[in-house]
Amino acid sequence: MTKKIYRDQNRDLDVLLKDIETWFSGQGYQTQTNKADETWLLQAAKTEAWRKVVGASRAFNVLIQGQPNDFSVDLSTGEWASNLAAGGVAAILTGGATLLISGVTAGWSKKIEGDLWSFIDQKVMFGEKPKSAQEVAVMQSQSSLEEKLKQLRDAYDQGFIDEIAYNAKKLEIEGQMRASKQSAGTEEKLMKLKSLLDAGILSQGEFEMKKAELIRESSNSELEVQISKLNAALASGILSQEEYEMKKSAIKQQSELAAKIKQLENARDAGILTYEEFEKKKLALLV
């Protein structure tokens, strides 16, 4: 068995195992995987007929253990488990220990082992980092909205809704998808700005100015969602063109007002405006 330890690489180990599985599949191997706490196990083997030719039911085993910044990868060969998913990783590591301790010694496996280590090293060095909570939330949101689009299309194909209703709802969902991505991007940028402020790279005034810019971007995203709903209402005949234009204009004016008030609040919070100056300017906007 050969083993490598990787530290300070911050890699998504679920993705790493999936990449290795894809690599084996591309080499014509069948695979099976299982996962337990901080442990990932993959087996890869050629067809049963090929294993009989080499004289044994041999399989490659890839064992990943640890956390994104401190993990090990073990390569070995052993017996192909009849059902790795049902047996579980714990059973393999305890009752089936011989599966993992036989060294990679067969001549047929040497080149595969070397190629695989090169692939793993490359993936560890340049692979995908663990996703942040914001990224996971966006992915879940996008997946949910994509499922809604699919269900909407199915409803249309089956004749449950007409084309006008389909197009209207499709416009609304697509607007929500764009807004979700924009909102997540804004949150991530705000966190980076805060870290720059805490590190002393940005002054409080610079931080507040850039924060205001990001909030304006976020306001534009919210505006896009509202306009998408208006587009849907127009497409479905709920609103006339005249009503649509009136409501669209009102929404834009309200969004611009909210953005200007937010800028004033940021200026007040940064000490650029006194409380009295802030109230005076805010009142002028509202009149």
Pairing status of strand 70-79 against strand 58-67: antiparallel
Q: What is the pLDDT of residue 249?
A: 87
Buried b / exposed e along 126-163 (16+ C-beta atoms within 10 A) = ebeeeeeeeeeebeebeeebeebeeebeeebeeeeeee
By CB atoms closer than 10 A (0-12, 13-18, 19+), residue 75 is: buried
Q: What is the pLDDT of residue 220?
A: 60
pTM: 0.45
Domains of the chain: 2-126 (3.30.530), 133-286 (no CATH)
Q: What is the pLDDT of residue 73?
A: 95
CA atoms within 13 A on the CB side of 207: 18
Q: Check: CB of residue 267 under 8 Å from CB of residue 278.
A: yes
Determine the Cα–Cα distance for residues 194 and 187; give it in Å rounded to an integer.
11
Determine the Cα–Cα distance for residues 96 and 80; give it in Å rounded to an integer.
11
- Going from the first residue of the chain to its last (287 residues), give the mean pLDDT of each consecutive group of 10, the final group possibly shorter: 87 92 88 90 76 59 93 87 64 47 52 88 79 68 86 91 83 77 73 85 82 68 72 80 87 80 79 86 83
